[in-house]
Structure formats: structure tokens, C-alpha cells
Amino acid sequence: MDKRILILCDFDGTTCLNDIGNQILNRYAKGWREIDRAYCANKIGSRLAYLQIQPLFHGTKREMTDYALHHEKIDPHFQPFYQSCKEKGIDLKIVSDGLDFYIASVLRKYDLQEIEFYSNRVVFQSNATLSIEFPSPRNGCHLCGTCKSTILNFYREFYDLIIYVGDSYSDVCPAMIADLVFAKPILSEKCRKNGKACIAYENFRDVGEYLSKFLEEPAGDEESPFWDVATRQGNSRHQENL
């Protein structure tokens, strides 16, 4: 297949099987759950949620990084999946509404620091407090800390096919405009309610096996179930987001 392909992967719950961000909040930001309930109920976006949670944090960068490295559970199939993508000439980037320090630390732990990632940025203070910044580009929407849809749309002119791999609420908007979507249950249910086709997966072995078959099919093969999904998703690319 002579196509330029980009895979955008979520981090917490996707690249890592557990949600490290939530575990860090549980440990170092007591009282954050009430704010999170408002976020999950779509009453506030993640950007405002982070700004409200920010004063609750208490801990040093070393403490939080060590905690993340001790508790992370990276998908054991992610490294071979990434290597396979490199061999096939497929680009992969991480887009996360999590925090930069633990993402960078986990990637370094597995010698994956070359992977470009987008996330929210933490500035640690000397008194064990911190502030959260939102450096990722956005097009007029300020709901999410990291606007994954803006990032996806930025890469449109550089790639023929953009594949999204995610699991939860912050992945809904980019999933609606991706050409091919791999989804875990929460994201899958959101896709279903919005009429967006997606492919269920448990880990990156599943994603890799599907893509291997997908890439073997001739583009535009009307009888191919793999291209059928991509075509249906591409046709709904401009559907309104939630």
C-alpha cells in the first residue's frame, strides 16, 4: 500500500493499560473525585477540571515520577507494535489529555523516548505545589486541556490515512473525524451513539493483527471488510462532535 499513514494513540488506558493520571491524582490530589464526576457528566471540560484540581496537588516531581514508574502497566504489545509500524513506514504519535512528566518518564523507561507526544504540561514548584499549562494548539475550543481534534486536523495535509486508537471520554472528538478508529468499551459506546464505525480491541496485538490484514488489502477493494470500515469512517469524518 503506497499511502502515508499516521497512527494517533491515547496514553492512559491505551498505550498504558492503567490510567496513571488517575492514580497520581488519587495519591497526590485529595478531593479531586468530585471535580472528575462533573467532567464525566459533561458539565465541565478537562481544561477547567485541571484548573480546579491544580490547587489540590501536593508532592514533588521526584515523588510523582517514582510513583508513576512503579505503578505503570504499559501494554506489553505496544513496543513490538511500534517497531512494526517503523518497519512499515507508518508514523505514530501519542496524544494525551494527561500530564507530560509521567508520559515522558514511562516512554524513557522502555526506550521509546523518540515517540513524539502531545499532552498537558506540569510546572513543579519548590513548595511541593504545581501549576498546569496547556501548550497544545486548539481551534477556538477550550473544553479539553489537549485538543486532540486540532492535532489530528493539523496532520490531515501530510497523511492519506489517520488511524486513532483510544479508550475513553477525551478520545471521542478525534475519533469522530479519524479515518479508522480502534476503541475500548467507553469510546466504543460513544462512537455507537454517534453513528461512528469503530473496531473493538483489548491491546495493541489486536490492533497490529487487524492492521496487518488491512494493509494487505488493495485500496478500494469493495469486497474487503477492512476497507469497508475505513471508507465508512472516512465518509463520516466531518460529522459533528459531541
For the chain, the domains span 5-235
Report the CATH architecture of 5-235.
3-Layer(aba) Sandwich (3.40)
Full-prediction pTM beyond 0.85? Answer: yes
Rounded-to-5 percentages of helix, strand, coil across the chain: 45, 15, 35
- Phi, psi (rounded to 5 degrees) for 224: -85, 125
- Ramachandran quadrant class, 92 (left: phi over 0; alpha: psi -120 to 50; beta: rest): beta
pLDDT at position 138: 78
Number of helices (H), then strands (E), belonging to the chain: the values are 11, 7
Grid cell in block for residue 156 = 490531515
Grid cell in block for residue 21 = 493520571
In angstroms, the CA 219 to CA 216 distance is 9
Query: What is the rounded average pLDDT for all residues in the chain?
Result: 90
The confidence band for 216, taking pLDDT boundaries of 50, 70 and 90, is: confident
Q: Which of 16-20, 190-194, 225-229, 235-239 has the lowest mean pLDDT?
A: 235-239
Residue 220 CA to its chain's centroid (Å): 28
Q: Which residues are CB-neighbours of 227 under 8 A, at least 6 positions away?
A: 214, 217, 219, 220, 221
pLDDT at position 140: 76
**117, 98 Cβ separation under 8 angstroms:** no
Sheet holding 130-133, edge to edge: 130-133, 117-124, 91-99, 5-9, 161-166, 180-183, 199-200
Q: What is the mean pLDDT of residues 175-200?
A: 96
Residue 1 has pLDDT above 60, yes or no: no
Provide the sign of the torsion angle of the four alpha carbons 16, 19, 25, 27, taken in this order.
Answer: negative
Higher pLDDT, 11 or 1: 11
- Which residue, chain included where needed, has cell 495535509? 157
Q: Which residues share a beta bridge with 82?
A: none
Q: What is the mean pLDDT of residues 98-113?
A: 98
